[in-house]
Amino acid sequence: MATASAFAGLSSVLCISGTFPANILCQFHTGHRDSHTGAGSPPVVISCGSLSFPPNGNKIGTLTVYGATAIFTCNSGYTLVGSHVRECLANGLWSGPETRCLAITCGHPGNPAHGLTNGSEFNLNDVVNFTCSPGYLLQGASRAQCRSNGQWSSPLPTCRAHGSRLGEEFKAKSLLRFSCEMGYQLRGSAERTCLLNGSWSGLQPVCEAVSCGNPGTPAHGRIVSSDGVLFSSSVVYACWDGYRTSGLTTRHCTANGTWTGTAPDCTLISCGDPGTLANRIQFGTNFTFNKTVSYQCNPGYTMEPATSPTIRCTKDSTWNHSKPTCKGDNLSIKKFSPM
């Protein structure tokens, strides 16, 4: 709808936003019946042109005329920069800045003091691992993952020394003494003096974890897990199938450089002699794991139940089923009995 106003023979027309004026009717107010229709152009709908899909994103909305809107989203692992919603304006332009989808990144988390960060990718779901230099203990999470909010799942850990220093003066002739925690031994100089030339005597001390050496592997067994041979490390044993474990299955490296306990013994599982009965013959004299014993009835006797005549020793020290029995009737027994 258009509205018009006139003053001193001049007219003005106001159209709703987004359209041009069409035919214009001018009529005298003095009662004349003559009228004049202006040669205006037909209505033209304003178009802002199409908007493309942002790389790694999506767009909802296909109209491009005045008042139309387009909604943008980004694929998983990407964050939206720019306008989430854009509208076609009366001037034929889209509102807001261009929409872009940028890969989510957490950036390099940094290196802990006296440690390192291992990892070269820092985008969504990437993982980095933290380690400490020899002589330092990691406090905090040893790994972190980049989350969808652009933050690492864990803060940067710290690397704490396994020892202490006695002395806070660093002037000429000052003496510093160093010591290590239990389970760690000092490598370097336990005492250092500030020399007149501005340097320290001796070697930089380092506290290294005590090593317990190889814990050994039991005969007929294996190590199923181990986190090293240094102080506070653990080792877990297991016996081969068919062998029973006797003793501790877990050992720990102690502060004095020895493993707790001894490696377990692995003994072959035995089911024991299943025994013999009259009227049948037994084949097999080895009653250990996975070995078999078979039976055969004497002439004139029938095996009951009519199952397999062979039994097998299982890992729980039992035979897989009961041994069969041999039964016969008097006629059959008499028939096969020696005269």
Tens-place pLDDT, residues 75-94? 988 889 999 999 999 999 99
| Other beta carbons within 10 Å of 338 | 3
For residue 207, pLDDT beyond 70? yes
Query: In which band, very low, low, confident or very high, does the pLDDT at 154 lie, cut at 50, 70 and 90?
Result: very high
Predicted confidence at residue 331, as pLDDT, reads 54
End-to-end CA distance of the chain: 131
Question: Is the Cα torsion angle 277, 278, 284, 285 positive or negative in sign?
Answer: positive
Q: What is the pLDDT of residue 42?
A: 63
Average confidence (pLDDT) over 166-177: 93
Query: What's the full length of the chain, in residues?
Result: 339
DSSP state of 120: S
Whether 144 and 162 have beta carbons less than 8 Å apart is answered as: no
User: What pLDDT, in 10s, does the model give residues 122-142?
Assistant: 998 999 999 998 778 888 999
CA dihedral 208, 214, 215, 217 (to 10 degrees): 160
Q: What's residue 5's pLDDT?
A: 42
Cα separation of 210 and 61, whole Å? 68
Q: Tell which CATH classification among 3.40.50.720, 3.40.50.11890, 2.10.70.10, 1.25.40.20 matches the domain 221-268.
A: 2.10.70.10
Is the pTM here over 0.85, yes or no?
no
Task: Return d(Cα 265, Cα 248) in angstroms, integer.
Answer: 9
Assess if CATH 2.10.70.10 describes domain 115-161.
Answer: yes
pLDDT > 90 in the chain, percent: 58
- Residue spans of the domains in the chain: they are 3-37, 57-103, 115-161, 163-209, 221-268, 280-336
> In what helix (H) or strand (E) does residue 110 lie, and over which residues does it extend?
none
338 vs 168, which has greater pLDDT? 168
Does 221-268 match 115-161 at the fold level? yes
What is the second-level CATH architecture of the domain 280-336? Ribbon (2.10)
Cα distance between residue 67 and residue 43, in whole Å: 16
CATH topology of domain 57-103: Complement Module; domain 1 (2.10.70)
More confident residue, 306 or 41: 306
Task: Compute the 3-state secondary structure of the chain and give helix, strand, coil in percent, each to the nearest 5.
Answer: 0, 40, 55
The amino acid sitting at 160 is R
User: What's the pLDDT score for residue 317?
Assistant: 92
pLDDT tens column, 225-234: 999 999 999 9
Q: Which residues contact 215 (CB under 8 A, 6 or more apart)?
A: 223, 226, 229, 235, 251, 253, 259, 263
d(CA 329, CA 108): 89
Residues 265-299 have pLDDT tens digits of 999 999 999 887 778 888 999 999 999 999 888 88
- Answer yes or no: is pLDDT of 236 > 80: yes
Segment (H or E) for 139? strand 136-139
Q: How far apart are CA 228 and CA 214, in angstroms?
A: 9
User: Contact, 307 vs 324, CB < 8 A?
Assistant: yes
CB atoms within 10 A of CB 178: 21
- What does the pLDDT read at residue 2? 44
Residue 22 is predicted with a pLDDT of 47
Question: pLDDT-based confidence at 68, cuts 50/70/90?
Answer: very high
State the average pLDDT over residues 248-253: 94
Residue type present at position 113: A
Q: Look at residue 161 in the predicted model and tell me its pLDDT.
A: 83
The Cα-based distances of 115 to 14, 181, 312 in angstroms read 73, 19, 57
Give the separation between CA 268 and CA 246, rounded to whole angstroms. Answer: 11
pLDDT value for 276: 79
pLDDT value of residue 15:
52
Q: Could you tell me which residue, 337 or 282, shows the higher pLDDT?
A: 282
Residues 163, 135: contact at Cβ < 8 Å? yes
CA–CA distance, 191 with 200 (Å, rounded to integer) = 10
Residue with tokens 């001037």: 91
Q: Which of 176, 169, 168 is nearest to 201 (CA)?
A: 176
Q: How far apart are CA 197 and CA 266, in angstroms?
A: 64
The rounded mean pLDDT for the chain is 84
The per-residue pLDDT for 250 is 96
163-209 under CATH 2.10.70.10, yes or no: yes
Task: List Cα–Cα distances, 104 to 122, 259, 316, in angstroms.
Answer: 9, 47, 55
Residue-wise pLDDT tens digits, 1-48: 444 443 334 344 445 554 444 444 444 344 444 444 444 556 678 999
